[in-house]
Chains A and B, each alone.
Chain A
Amino acid sequence: MYFGLSEEQEFFQDNVKKFLADNASIDEIRKIASGEGQDLQSEIFQGIINLGINALLVPEKYGGLGVGLLHAVAISQALGNGVGPIPFSGSYVMAPLAINLGGSESQKEELLPKIVSNETRFGIGLSEFVGAREDAGLEIKNNKASGRALFVMDAENSDKIILATKAGVLFLIDSKDKNLTASRLTTVDKTRTFQELILDKVDCEILEESSKNIEVVKKVVDAGRIILAADTLGASESMIEKAVAYSKERKQFNRTIGSFQAVKHMCAEMAADLEPCYSLVWQAAHSFDVDSPIESRLLACQAKSHLSEIGKSVSKKATEVHGGMGFTDLLGLHYWFKRIGLNRQILGAPEIVREEAAEIQGFNQ
């Protein structure tokens, strides 16, 4: 019996952490956030791809590493920890799972190897399946998709995009389709990109299994939620480390502020809140890899909503420990705060996800 990340998973995680520490310092993150660092962002992206994160969830049969979601969770923690300004949750977790679970054999053979070779980059947008805002929503008529999709993940610089109808049928479109209008949404989080898409009779290719089995899209959402929870876990961990380190340096009243119980207790509370979260997220990922959908879906929902709550509280307290500096752009702590804030809302805010968890358990009649 062993509960935790394996040596291999930790090794992979450390590599991503080290890479970000060396190549994505706060100055570099700031440059990317201001929109002036496109070359820099491409370099970081290429460096991370060279570590092999794109191949994780593609089965060996199609040239990938064929590891489980727990492995991807280890990477997602590292990306959250360093506010990695690259696509991951959509392009390299949800997209390969959507194709692997939802595609026909020929679709898998065609598409999955291209994720590994980095020839095709995918974005994915399931927000309208999870809970449509405004008049957003997509429908397919005569093999043409029309409608509006909000908060499409990792679609910028993508080649293809996976979308879902309200009924949960997954389909592919070409990112360069002439009947597609894409615009970047300006969110608080500048480390990742989200798009609004307007489709007007766009050619589409349905992922065949997904039209027969609603479980496909649900599993992809489960995985996305667990990965976002892991990103929040990593980002929260980093915020606590920064708060503790700052409190040991900063002096007021001739003492380091970390010697004041008011400050110490905030740090202890953050650590105590976050520590069981590692276990919850890891168990959710493990359950996704081995258990029945029902069992793992409850864990996925609870990991997503619980991490959203703990992340919110940690990001507030850690900022407070930094005092005025925490509020500045100079320190850049806000990149973590905002990343956690966005993770909370995407693929279902806590109340939405908890309501789903209640449904899974048959609580609401």
Chain B
Amino acid sequence: MDLEFGSEYDDFTKDVQDFCKEYSNAIITNANDKKFEMHDALSGNSNEKTGKVVNRSDWQRLLIEKGYFARSIPKEYGGYGGEPDIIKSRIIATEFSKNKVPNAMGGQGIDMLVPTLLEWGSEEQKQKYIKSTLHGETIWCQGYSEPNAGSDLANLQTKGELVDGNWVINGQKIWTSTAQFSQMMFCLIRTEPDASKHAGISFILIPMDTPGIEIRPLVDMTLKAGFNEVFFDDVTVPEENLVAKRGEGWSVANSVLGHERGSLANPNATMNRLNTLINLMKEETIDGRRLIDVPSYRDRLLQVQGKVMAVQAHSLRLLSSKINPNQNVKLGGMIQKLVGTELRHELEGLAIDIMGELGTLYEDDPNVRDGGSWQFTYMYFLGLIIGGGTNQIQKNIISERGLGMPREPKVTVEV
């Protein structure tokens, strides 16, 4: 066991710490973008907005310039152009979190599309899309799920036909978050109707202002998160918007899905929320008594803290396995989405419980605590328990691929 990163990282750590001191509790503004309203609670960012004010796209550029974001993405595509270094990435994440510095913008374009294009995209596609995505100028939404293709995603039916050098797309997507703010969608489309289920899918990029696209808001239980249904009626995009080859869409999508699952439950964010909860319990009272002095509340807090400390320690072990490729943590990686989302849901729910009636306040109620973020995040994480591969699907993956248990026998229905 050796938890030191080595003295060669001392200078780097010092630089990051200096930067973090300057931008502690910074306020990142984006007047036009409601989506980020609750972003801070989700990502565990501080709610003490006392630091510098920076515009979001300036913030993105500054972080790239310093190498704190898009670190290993080549310069020619708008990244920092550094060598991949897991330890440096970890130092950045840890210091940002510790010093309450807002993270770079995330979202599906940055987290999913950029790695996809780097792996599968043509040179033209990389040039055209990556830089503006990193700068926060092009917002993307993901067109994967359909009403009849949820857990069974490969059953998707939205079809695309190549007509005179253009893809003509018809069908419907659902659970499309941020569709209403997005300039582009990356989409899975059935282009090879005669091929087998998984081999008939292609990965296609669609500008959201293309005629024939209709976006209908799909209000979820938080009333805020902003999912949509997206309908395609003869939507026509150029042939070159295909990423990789026809019929390779399933492989393209799968190559970055694992990344999304891991990122759904960042242990640093969970630790920050735990600390916010501890502060809340020291400030709020019942019958004049601090909530943290109520033994049953305190015991629940300590139970959650034990779980948070376990996943934090676990993230160190996962980091170690990336640095030391011989270390086997196969099962350790598979459990992240399941464990992380359930834990956040429990943590946020505990905050509601200890506040009792006050915990039910929401939105703009004058008595609401922390802007209603506890209720919002509690509900949002129920969404994440279901989304990104439901936690029941996660349990199938863990038992089949992790524990080597047999698959459920296929049921063939005679029609």
Q: Which residue of B lies closest to A240 (CB)?
A: B403
Interface size class of B (residues with CB under 8 A): 35 or more
Chain A residues within an 8 Å CB radius of B403: 244, 267-268, 271
Q: Is B198 an interface residue (CB 8 A)?
A: no
Q: Is A255 an interface residue (CB 8 A)?
A: yes
Chain B residues within an 8 Å CB radius of A271: 331, 335, 398-399, 402-403
Annotate A266-290 by CB proximity to B: 1 below 8 A, 0 otherwise: 0111011101111110110010000
State A3–B329 Cα separation when bound (angstroms).
11
Partner of A6, one of B1, B3, B4, B295: B1
Contact of A280 with B314 at beta-carbon distance under 8 Å, contacts A1-B87, A351-B299, A354-B303 already known: yes
Q: Which residue of B lies closest to A298 (CB)?
A: B309
Contact of A276 with B303 at beta-carbon distance under 8 Å, contacts A244-B403, A365-B293 already known: no
Q: Is A4 an interface residue (CB 8 A)?
A: yes
Q: Is A264 an interface residue (CB 8 A)?
A: yes
State A233–B362 Cα separation when bound (angstroms).
41
Chain B residues within an 8 Å CB radius of A354: 299, 302-303, 306
A276 to chain B, nearest CB (A): 4
State A276–B338 Cα separation when bound (angstroms).
12
Q: Which residue of A lies closest to B407 (CB)?
A: A259
State A119–B409 Cα separation when bound (angstroms).
60
The winner among B301, B327, B405 for most chain A CB atoms within 10 A is B405
Contact of A278 with B317 at beta-carbon distance under 8 Å, contacts A2-B1, A259-B406, A269-B395 already known: yes
Annotate B1-25 by CB proximity to A: 1 below 8 A, 0 otherwise: 1111110000000000000000000
| A3 & B398 in contact (Cβ 8 Å cutoff) | no
| B320 & A4 in contact (Cβ 8 Å cutoff) | yes
Chain A residues within an 8 Å CB radius of B1: 2-6, 70, 282, 286
Q: Which residue of B lies closest to A278 (CB)?
A: B317
Partner of A276, one of B2, B292, B293, B339: B339
The interface stretch among A40-48, A169-177, A181-189, A355-363 is A355-363
B275 to chain A, nearest CB (A): 11
Q: Which residue of A lies closest to B406 (CB)?
A: A259
Annotate B337-369 by CB proximity to A: 1 below 8 A, 0 otherwise: 011000000000000000000000000000000
Partner of A2, one of B292, B314, B323: B323
| A3 & B3 in contact (Cβ 8 Å cutoff) | yes
| B4 & A275 in contact (Cβ 8 Å cutoff) | no
Contact of A283 with B402 at beta-carbon distance under 8 Å, contacts A264-B396, A265-B395, A272-B339 already known: no
Q: Is B84 an interface residue (CB 8 A)?
A: no
Annotate A246-262 by CB proximity to B: 1 below 8 A, 0 otherwise: 01100000011011110
For residues 13 through 40 of chain B, which have their beta carbon under 8 Å from a beta carbon of chain A?
none
State A170–B395 Cα separation when bound (angstroms).
48
State A4–B324 Cα separation when bound (angstroms).
10
Q: Is A195 an interface residue (CB 8 A)?
A: no
State A264–B406 Cα separation when bound (angstroms).
9
For residues 17 through 53 of chain A, which have their beta carbon under 8 Å from a beta carbon of chain B?
none
| B327 & A4 in contact (Cβ 8 Å cutoff) | yes
Partner of B399, one of A256, A268, A306: A268
Annotate B303-337 by CB proximity to A: 1 below 8 A, 0 otherwise: 10111011101101101100110010001100100
Q: Is B288 an interface residue (CB 8 A)?
A: no
Partner of A306, one of B310, B398, B409: B310
Chain B residues within an 8 Å CB radius of A279: 310, 313-314, 316-317
Chain B residues within an 8 Å CB radius of A278: 314, 317
| A364 & B313 in contact (Cβ 8 Å cutoff) | no
Chain B residues within an 8 Å CB radius of A286: 1, 3
Q: Which residue of B lies closest to A5 (CB)?
A: B1
Contact of A259 with B409 at beta-carbon distance under 8 Å, contacts A1-B3, A279-B313 already known: yes
Q: Is B89 an interface residue (CB 8 A)?
A: no
| B408 & A305 in contact (Cβ 8 Å cutoff) | no
| A305 & B398 in contact (Cβ 8 Å cutoff) | no
Contact of A364 with B293 at beta-carbon distance under 8 Å, contacts A261-B408, A286-B3, A302-B309 already known: yes
Q: Which residue of B lies closest to A273 (CB)?
A: B339
Chain B residues within an 8 Å CB radius of A272: 335, 338-339, 395, 398
Partner of B400, one of A260, A264, A355, A365: A264
Q: Is B132 an interface residue (CB 8 A)?
A: no
| A259 & B408 in contact (Cβ 8 Å cutoff) | yes
Partner of A268, one of B4, B309, B317, B402: B402
State A351–B311 Cα separation when bound (angstroms).
21
State A365–B327 Cα separation when bound (angstroms).
44
| A306 & B406 in contact (Cβ 8 Å cutoff) | no
State A258–B317 Cα separation when bound (angstroms).
29
| B306 & A247 in contact (Cβ 8 Å cutoff) | no
Q: Which residue of B lies closest to A310 (CB)?
A: B310
Q: Which residue of B lies closest to A244 (CB)?
A: B403
Contact of A355 with B331 at beta-carbon distance under 8 Å, contacts A2-B2, A247-B405 already known: no
Chain B residues within an 8 Å CB radius of A5: 1
Q: Which residue of A lies closest to B1 (CB)?
A: A286
Q: Is B210 an interface residue (CB 8 A)?
A: no
Chain A residues within an 8 Å CB radius of B87: 1
Partner of B311, one of A1, A2, A4, A276: A276
Chain B residues within an 8 Å CB radius of A267: 399, 403, 405
State A280–B310 Cα separation when bound (angstroms).
5
Annotate B223-261 by CB proximity to A: 1 below 8 A, 0 otherwise: 000000000000000000000000000000000000000
20 of the cross-chain contacts (CB-CB < 8 Å) are A1-B2, A2-B324, A3-B317, A244-B403, A247-B405, A258-B399, A265-B392, A268-B396, A268-B398, A268-B403, A271-B331, A273-B339, A275-B314, A276-B311, A279-B313, A299-B309, A302-B310, A354-B299, A355-B299, A358-B298
Q: Supply 16 further A-B pairs (C-beta < 8 A) apart from A2-B324, A275-B314.
A: A1-B5, A2-B327, A3-B1, A70-B1, A244-B403, A259-B405, A259-B408, A264-B395, A268-B394, A268-B398, A271-B331, A276-B310, A276-B313, A355-B299, A363-B292, A364-B293
